[in-house]
C-alpha cells in the first residue's frame, strides 16, 4: 500500500467496486489481488493493486494480499500486527528467511467470498 495521497475527486466506479469487495473480507481471512479482480470479473491483479495503493487506506487493506502470502513491503509490521490480532493463519518464517517475517498461510486464510455471494456482481 502506497503512502501516496488519494486523488481529491471521488474514486472511479471500478475503484469503488474493488474497495467494496475488500471491505467484505472477514477478519482473519484474505483475498489476493487476482481474487478480487476475478470476483469482479474485471481488471487484473495490477489494477486492483493500483486501486488499493491509491484509495485503500480507510478500509482493511491488509486483507488484500499477494498470492504468495508475502507481507506488503513497507507495511509488514503494521499488517503483521493486524493479522495477529485478527487470528489470520500465518506460516512462521525460518531463521534463514530474510527478516524472519512470517507469511500468510494462503491455504488456510484465503477467502472465496462464499459467505457473501449475494454481493457478487
Residue 78: CB atoms within 10 A of its CB come to: 14
- Cell 513491503, located at residue: 73
3-state secondary structure of 113: coil
Question: What are the residue boundaries of the structural domains of the chain, listed by start?
Answer: 13-109
**In which element (H, E) is residue 76 found?**
helix 76-86
Q: Each residue of 56-108: pLDDT tens digit? A: 999 999 999 999 999 999 999 999 999 999 999 999 877 666 667 899 999 99
Say how many Å lie between the first and final Cα of the chain, rounded.
Answer: 25
- 109 neighbors 27 (Cβ within 8 angstroms): no
User: Max Cα separation, the chain?
Assistant: 46
Instruction: Select from 1.10.10.10, 1.10.1740.10, 3.90.190.20, 2.60.120.580 the CATH code of 13-109.
Output: 1.10.10.10
Q: What is the pLDDT of residues 3-24, one digit of tens each?
A: 555 555 668 999 999 999 999 9
Amino acid at each position: 500500500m502506497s503512502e501516496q495521497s488519494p486523488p481529491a475527486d471521488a474514486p472511479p466506479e471500478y475503484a469503488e467496486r474493488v474497495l467494496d469487495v475488500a471491505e467484505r473480507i472477514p477478519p482473519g481471512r484474505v483475498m489476493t489481488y487476482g481474487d478480487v479482480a476475478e470476483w469482479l470479473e474485471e481488471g487484473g491483479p495490477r489494477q486492483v493493486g493500483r486501486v488499493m495503493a491509491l484509495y485503500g487506506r480507510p478500509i482493511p487493506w491488509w486483507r488484500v494480499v499477494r498470492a504468495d502470502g508475502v507481507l506488503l513491503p513497507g507495511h509488514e509490521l503494521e499488517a503483521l500486527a493486524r493479522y495477529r490480532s485478527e487470528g489470520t493463519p500465518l506460516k512462521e518464517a525460518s531463521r534463514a528467511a530474510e527478516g524472519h517475517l512470517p507469511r500468510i498461510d494462503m491455504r488456510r486464510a484465503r477467502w472465496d467470498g462464499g459467505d457473501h455471494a449475494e454481493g457478487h456482481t
